[in-house]
Amino acid sequence: MGNSAEKFSDLISKIDEFIRKYYFNKIVRGSIYLAATCFAGYLIITLSEYYGNFSPGIRAVLLFSFLLLNSLIFFRFIFWPLLSYFKLGKRINYLQASEIIGKHFPTVKDKLINTLQLKELSTQSEDGRQLIEHAINQKITELRPIPFHTAIRIQDNKKYLRYVLPFIFLIVIIAFTAPYIFSESTERILHYKTRFVKKAPFQFVLMNSNLHAFQGEDLTLQVKLTGNEIPDEIYVEEGLNTYKLQKDNLVHFKHVFRNLQKDKTIRLFAGEFYSTPYVLKVIQKPSLINMSVKITYPSYLGLRNEIRRDLTDLTVPEGTNIKYGINTRYATKIDLYNGLNQLVLKPVSSNHFEYALKARKSIELRLAPQGTTLVNGTDFLSFRLNVIPDERPTVQIIEKEDGPNNKATSFIGQLADDHGFSGLKIHYQVKDQGKMLSASSRNIPVDKKTTHYSFIYAVKSSDFKLKPGQELEFYIEVFDNDAVNGVKSSRSETMQIKRLTVSQVEKNVDQSTRVTEQKLQQAIKEASLIESETKRIKKELMNQNNLSFEQKKQVTDLLDKQRELEKLIDEIKKESDKNYQEQNSELLNQAALTDQQKQLQKLLEQVMDEKTQALLLSIEKMLQENNKVQTQEELGKMQSGNKGVQKELDRILELYKQLQFDQKLTGTINNLKKAADNQNELNKSVEEKSATHQDAADQQEKQAKEFQDIAKQLESLKKKNEELEKSHPLADLSKEEKEVNEEQKKSKNSLQANHTDPAQKSMQKAADKMSAMAKQMEEMKETSQTSEIKINLQALREILANLLKSSFDQESILIATRKSVATDPLLVSNTQKQLQIRNNMQVIGDSLSVLSRQIPQIESVVTQELNTITERINYSLESLAERRLSEAVSGQQSAMASINNLALLLTEVEEHLQKAMKNSSSGGKGNQQSLSQLGQQQDQLNKNMEKAREKMKQNGAESSRNKGQANSSQQFAGMAREQNLIRQALQQINREMNKDGRGKLGNLDKLSQDMEQTEMELVNKRIQSETLIRQHDILTHLLEADKAERERDLDDKRESKAGTDQLPGYVEKLKQLKIIKMKETELLKTVPADLNLFYQLKINEYFRSLDSI
């Protein structure tokens, strides 16, 4: 069974071998067929094209026919057999193969088929299987010697080579003899779309590097002919249009294609010869359409962000974020040059590009759109980005003015910045002889939103407790609000306040005093000159009918001199005020003379009033109107006024000298006391051995020099006293000076010799001598002042008595005149009495003039009242002489009113002198101590009354009356008397303090009434709960009055201190600052709000230039 299967398998293998050879034979034969058709077709096509020069259509038919035929043969005879060979496609079965084998071997045909059929039958049925297998084996044995594959003879295909070899032979011959036939034909057939022309005896050579042009532009076609024969004319064919080319020379031709919009195919030809077709390529030109700019300003500028559509230059502040949006046409990229780098922008969407940057410095941007072709766009946009840097802030100090004695300074500061401020500080440094002691700084409020800011600031040395000789340096530092580069600052120049020493202050005072006195003397001379000149011009006008040109000029010059005099008096006021400020230095310790200084300042203010200015304007008006009479009258008033000014200035000069003597005297006394204290301190340091002998000797030498300065002050004081109209008695202290000098010299020598005891004794003697000198001078000063006040008071009382007599006399004459008629003979007697009153008033005026040179409280209004009295009396006398009684009565009535006013004014001066006398005799004690004592006495009285009531409660009312009648009555009487004394003292204080009607201490009358009621109850020995409540209220009101008095004194001191500490010109600086701020506001109003940043910054620069002018 197994043997039979192997035999059958061998049989099948032989058949498979036959089948493979069968298909291989087909492949060989198909290859011969394909080669025959390929070579034959190629030969036929190339020869036909070479000689036929077919059109592109025919060439296409030939090419595709050739390819189609060969493709069919390949698939039919090669591809499908090849698949069958590899058993991939349909192939013949074993029976078909047996029939083919039987055709070659007839004897085995039926056996081979029968064997295959029997094998198939044996697999279908089990019956007779062995018999069938036996038959199959028998037949296989018979077929085994026969080689089936020999039925296929590959060599038999050689007969088909006769169809291939001739074509190969022809191709080889042509390839060697005329290869161009195949090359040209093959090229034309392969490029069947290209139109090939018949080869001409010349060639068309294009001179253009390329045939590209942007849309809408022109393209010039440059053609050159080469070859043996050159035609005279050539043409270009464009579709259905034909154009003749312009001939430049024998071989060069050209033609311009205008406004190209799309691609064009052209062909050159001359005669029957054509060139190959050319394509004019139209490129879509990349271009910029529009651009937008998004501007995001730094937040600290407070500017509104913008979006602009224009393509102009841009000006922005530093730190601004800028985003360009660029719209293009036919652009795939943009070349951008930003001043430093060449960048390529890619589109974020179709034809839309974006470029963002942060503005740090000015640059020039250049944009060039580019397309996809090899030729780039020619359009570009160039614009400039101007970046304005955040400048440093500026600070200017203007109108700096130092206060008296360098105690303070004030200044106006002007700040400027392009965008605003973040802070303003003032830095201080306290130095002593160049060594820094402390440093500090303070913030100054500033408007952070504005770009220009002005402020006024004052620096006081008292805030830093500067000692004499120390200095305070300070400067202003302003900070801008630059959030991009960080805050920048600028500082002003360094200013300083140097605290003067006592000697420096005294030197300044002396210098200011000399200047004031010199200017006062100059003003007196000018006033005298103007008065005499006015008198002369007035006299000349009396003999003239009209004002001549020369006289007008003289009056005008006189008015100019009058105005110069006013300016000089203003300078005296300022210099005197400066001297007043310096005199009030705490270093000089002359607060006691403050009232005299204030009064003197007041007198200076009253020298020139508004009436004087009005008089000058009136004279100018009369000159313009050529009014001689009125001009003459006004000049008379001016003469009288200048005469009064001359007298008042002369009086002020004398009072000023007197004040300077008093200040010099007080300063010398203070210096002596201080020198004595210093000598005692040195003595104490030597005794305690806190200083070496050498240091003590050096200090003693220094104090000796200081005493020499005091000696010079004493000598200067004597000279000042001699300059006064009424000198003061000064003791001769030359002996004491000599003794102090000798003792200080002995002390120095003893210290240098290390002899402590003798040195201490000498120092003590020197200190005692200086104290004695100070005490002697102080007693002399007080005695002199008291004596002077008494004399002045006596003189003033005599003047008042005389003035009252004149007032009564004037009243009697007034009554008599009212009752009289024009024909009354008593009018003559009344007129004589009126003349006596006038003469009496002249005596009073002369006496007041002399007295006013000693009493500064006699103000200028006193002189004005005297002038008014004289004027009204003269008017009354003129009216009486002309029997105009009503007018005479009016003049007398006015004169009497002025006399009474003058009496009131002098009464106030008298009260002031009486108060000064009282203060001088009582050592300057005021009412504050009395109020305090009254409060203490009232408190003690209340406690005694409470104890008495408690005692009454313990013993009972009836018992107390019976048992202790004497003691009780004595006790109640004592308390009643004590309450009465308190009430009387309170009433006296109330009269003194409230005599001006202002009620400075409140309603004390009600308090007195309550005290009086308590007295009545104490006399009746009644102390009830209501009584104690009333007593508590009385004590409360007394304490409140005491507190009110102390606060009033404190306010007066504060007011005085404020007056001395306030810097000269501070109010004027405030006015100037207000004007500056108004100008800044007005300038800002002139700037339109919609101006862009560039012009706003330009305007700011203009403002800064104005500030620097």
pLDDT tens string 362-405: 888 888 888 765 444 456 678 888 888 888 898 988 766 666 55
Using the predicted structure, report yes or no on whether residue 244 has a pLDDT greater than 50: yes
Sign of CA dihedral 338, 340, 344, 347: negative
What's the pLDDT at 361? 87
Specify the higher pLDDT residue, 379 or 267.
Answer: 267
Return the CATH fold of 287-388.
Immunoglobulin-like (2.60.40)
pLDDT for 1058 = 42
254 pLDDT above the threshold of 90:
yes
Sign of torsion over alpha carbons 686, 692, 696, 699: negative
Poorest-confidence range of 408-422, 491-505, 979-993?
979-993
pLDDT tier at 1059 (50, 70, 90 boundaries)?
very low
| For residue 740, pLDDT beyond 70 | yes
> For residue 641, which of 530, 716, 736, 555 has the smallest C-alpha distance?
530
Q: Helix, strand or coil for residue 216?
A: coil
Main-chain phi, psi angles of 1022, to 5 degrees:
-120, 120
pLDDT of residue 698: 84
Mean pLDDT of 930-953: 78
Which of 427, 374, 656, 711 minimizes the C-alpha distance to 520?
Answer: 656
Q: Residue 353: is its pLDDT beyond 60?
A: yes
**Alpha carbon distance, N-terminus to C-terminus of the chain:** 136
Q: What is the mean pLDDT of the chain?
A: 77
For 434-446, how does the pLDDT look when each residue is reduced to its tens digit (9 = 90+)? Answer: 788 888 899 998 8
In this structure, of 89-98, 583-592, 887-896, 1073-1082, the range with the lowest mean pLDDT score is 583-592
Of 493-497, 544-548, 994-998, the poorest mean pLDDT is in 994-998
Strand partners for 1075: none
pLDDT, position 320: 92
Task: Report d(CA 489, CA 500) in Å as an integer.
Answer: 33
Q: Is the pLDDT of residue 293 over 80?
A: yes
pLDDT tier, 246 (very low <50, low <70, confident <90, very high otherwise): very high
Q: How confident is the model at residue 424 (pLDDT cuts 50, 70, 90)?
A: very high
How many distinct helices (H) and strands (E) make up the chain?
26, 27
Tokens linked to 239: 């579709």
Other CB atoms within a 10 A radius of the CB of residue 752 amount to 16
Asked if 230 contacts 271 with a C-beta cutoff of 8 angstroms, the reply is no
Single-letter residue type at 435? K
- Alpha-carbon gap, residue 400 to 398, rounded angstroms: 6
Per-residue model confidence (pLDDT) at position 417:
87
Separation between Cα atoms, residue 496 and residue 798, nearest integer Å:
56
- pLDDT above 70: percentage of residues in the chain: 76
Among 184-193, 382-391, 1020-1029, name the most confident range.
382-391
pLDDT confidence bin for 1101, thresholds 50/70/90? low
User: Which residue from 553, 551, 561, 490 is spatially nearest to 526, judged by alpha carbons?
Assistant: 561
The Cα–Cα gap between 154 and 152 comes to 6
Residue 925 has pLDDT above 60, yes or no: no
- Residue 257 is predicted with a pLDDT of 92
Residues counted in the chain? 1109
Q: Does 537 or 56 have the greater pLDDT score?
A: 56
Lowest mean pLDDT among 239-243, 294-298, 923-927: 923-927
> 338: phi > 0 → left, psi -120 to 50 → alpha, else beta; which?
alpha
The pLDDT assigned to 220 comes to 92
What is the per-residue pLDDT for 1056? 44
Residue 712, pLDDT > 50, answer yes
Higher pLDDT, 809 or 600: 809
126-130, 137-141, 941-945: which range is least confident on average? 126-130
Comparing 2 with 623, which gets the higher pLDDT?
623
Amino acid at 1082: E
Structure tokens at 206: 């294009």
What's the fold here for domain 197-283? Answer: Immunoglobulin-like (2.60.40)
- pLDDT tens across 74-110, in order? 888 888 888 878 878 777 777 777 777 767 666 665 5
Between 1075 and 1031, name the one with better pLDDT: 1031
CA angle 651, 653, 659 (to 5 degrees): 105
CA pair distance 121, 346, nearest whole angstrom: 82
Query: What is the biggest distance separating any 2 CA atoms in the chain, rounded to whole angstroms?
Result: 213
475 pairs with which residues across the strands?
427
Q: Give the Cα separation of 744 and 738 in Å (integer).
A: 10
Q: Say what percent of the chain tops pLDDT 90.
A: 4
pLDDT of residue 106: 66
**If you average pLDDT over residues 195-207, what whole number do you get?**
77
Go through 326-357 and write b for each residue having 16 or more CB atoms within 10 A of its CB, e for each that does not: bebebbebbbbbeeeeeeebeeeeeeebebee
**At what angle are helices 628-687 and 756-819 packed, to 10 degrees?**
160
Specify which residues 326 forms β-bridges with: 291, 353
CATH: 1.10.3720.10, 3.30.70.980, 3.40.190.290, 2.60.40.10. Which one for 394-500+1064-1108? Answer: 2.60.40.10
Distance CA(430)–CA(438), nearest Å, equals: 5
Per residue, what are the HEC states of 106-152?
HHHHHHHHHHHHHHHHHHHCCCCHHHHHHHHHHHHHHHCCCCHHHHC
pLDDT band at 959 (very low <50, low <70, confident <90, very high): very low
Higher pLDDT, 984 or 210: 210
Helix (H) or strand (E) holding 536: helix 502-542
